[in-house]
Structure 1
Amino acid sequence: MWKKIKQLIFIVLVLNVLFIIWGRFFNPPITITQIGGLFEYGKLQRDYISYDEMGNNVKKAVIASEDQKFFIHNGFDYKAIEKAMKHNEKGKKVRGGSTISQQTAKNIFLWQGRSWLRKGLEAMYTFIIEKVWSKDIILERYLNSIEMGRGVFGVEAASQYYFGKPSKDLNTSEAAWIATVLPNPKKYDPKNPSSYLRKKHNWIMRQMKNVSLK
């Protein structure tokens, strides 16, 4: 019995290693979150594109919105995590402290949720992809897989869905609107923005001036 369990664990580990190495060269065929969106909304709108095809505006907008230390941290922003924990201890609306690397690990390899098991696996995958993949690859995988609307995944599909153009042609304001829907793309809609979204959009545009793609 134990021998079979050990063999199963070994097979799972080997498959994970191979999938991580494979992911350095290819985008995921499909993710658990995308499957969930397909069942929930009856569609899977996505279009994987290369890092160079994405254009700089949308990269800067998402980094400005989600993780301004992306190119300098090792996968974890400990100050942001500490700040989020202190905020959550006050019993207010739960705030995350996840980096783009952590979100990529979650989106590619895992499922949505806040269990300790999922967070532990997320930390493990984050550590590994930071070692095996480059920052550009991590950002490309993130921008191709992130949920950006109801059944809409990735910046290219979001750009076509909201603005009818390729992501490389987005101007600063349009790119900022794409980033504004994060982290609640099922609720927020750039086509019908609330006052809160308008404020966030303006804040992202200001922050984009400080983002360097290095």
Structure 2
Amino acid sequence: MNQEIDALYERYQGYDIFTPLDNLEKMTIILEDRRYFNHYGIDCRSIVREVWKAATFCQHGGASTIEMQFIRTVNSRRELTMYRKFREGLLALLANFHFNKIALLRSYLDIAFFGSGLIGRHRASEVMYDKAVYELSPKEAAVLASMLVYPKPLHENPVWRAKVERRSNYAIRLLPQFEKRFEQIKMC
């Protein structure tokens, strides 16, 4: 396990953590992990919530933090087991002691799957909007962040567009209440 953390360190040690969050980073936090800056890779509140839902036979899912999603993407492990979740949580916890939260977020977005042929935020931004990531409007960024849950299919369809639009509108509605939190974040 330590070898995996060391490999990540080699790859991402030079990340610029002093640049303010861009719109895509903000929207990803809003949609994927609202308590991102309040935990160390494992969000205990989300875990308790999802266990309660499962115990009461309600629809459940989630509880993965951005760090856990990053670890899953790097490792390419998809099996649906408690062992995998435990391992992701442990690696996410270890990653938080080796890396800055901003570097972890940016690293995840650089390798995230946004849909067919869209690996990484730069490629997704270029293909979807013909813009650099830092030029995206909040609405455009919200659409890309929504594609982390609803990746773009090879052939777009109205059902996919409606799901992405609904999720991105939700992020836009939440943005004002998160802006103050984003301004308070220390970059180092």
Query: Is TM (by shorter chain) over 0.5?
Result: yes
Task: Work out whether 1:127 is the aligned partner of 2:93.
Answer: yes
Instruction: State how 1:25-40 maps to structure 2 within 5 Å.
Output: 25=13
2:3 is aligned, of 15, 27, 31, to 15
Task: Work out whether 1:76 is the aligned partner of 2:42.
Answer: yes
Mark the CA change 1:190 to 1:99 in structure 2 (over 3 Å): closer, same or farther: farther
Aligned partner of 1:16: which letter?
E
Q: Residue 119 of structure 1: CA displacement?
A: 1.4
CA deviations on 1:153-188 (whole Å, 9 max, x unpaired) are: 111111111111111110011011101122231559
Q: Note if contact 1:144-1:156 (Cα within 8 Å) is conserved in structure 2.
A: yes
Aligned partner of 1:128: which letter?
L
What root-mean-square deviation, in Å, do the aligned CA atoms of Structure 1 and Structure 2 show?
Answer: 2.8
Q: Residue 17 of structure 1: CA displacement?
A: 4.8
Mark the CA change 1:17 to 1:160 in structure 2 (over 3 Å): closer, same or farther: closer
Mark the CA change 1:97 to 1:15 in structure 2 (over 3 Å): closer, same or farther: closer
Which residue of structure 2 lines up, in the alignment, with residue 154 of structure 1?
120
Q: Residue 90 of structure 1: CA displacement?
A: 4.7
State the identity as a percent.
Answer: 21
Q: Residue 198 of structure 1: CA displacement?
A: 2.5
Aligned partner of 2:144: which letter?
I
CA deviations on 1:10-30 (whole Å, 9 max, x unpaired) are: xxx563353143144268xxx
Q: Which moved more, 1:174-183 or 1:192-201?
A: 192-201
Mark the CA change 1:91 to 1:151 in structure 2 (over 3 Å): closer, same or farther: farther
Q: Residue 202 of structure 1: CA displacement?
A: 1.1
Which residue of structure 2 lines up, in the alignment, with residue 98 of structure 1?
64
Which residue of structure 2 lines up, in the alignment, with residue 201 of structure 1?
168
Mark the CA change 1:197 to 1:15 in structure 2 (over 3 Å): closer, same or farther: closer
Task: Work out whether 1:107 is the aligned partner of 2:76.
Answer: no
Q: Residue 136 of structure 1: CA displacement?
A: 1.1
Mark the CA change 1:128 to 1:55 in structure 2 (over 3 Å): closer, same or farther: closer
Which residue of structure 2 lines up, in the alignment, with residue 62 of structure 1?
28
Which residue of structure 1 lines up, in the alignment, with residue 151 of structure 2?
185
Name the CA distance, whole Å, in 2 between partners of 1:190 and 1:52. 37
Q: Residue 52 of structure 1: CA displacement?
A: 7.0
Q: Residue 199 of structure 1: CA displacement?
A: 2.3
Which residue of structure 2 lines up, in the alignment, with residue 140 of structure 1?
106
TM-score scaled by structure 1?
0.72
Q: Note if contact 1:75-1:99 (Cα within 8 Å) is conserved in structure 2.
A: yes
**Larger Cα-atom Rg:** 1
Q: Note if contact 2:25-2:106 (Cα within 8 Å) is conserved in structure 1.
A: no
Mark the CA change 1:189 to 1:140 in structure 2 (over 3 Å): closer, same or farther: farther
SS in structure 2 of the partner of residue 97 of structure 1: coil
Q: Residue 206 of structure 1: CA displacement?
A: 1.5
Give aligned pairs, total. Answer: 180
SS in structure 2 of the partner of residue 58 of structure 1: helix
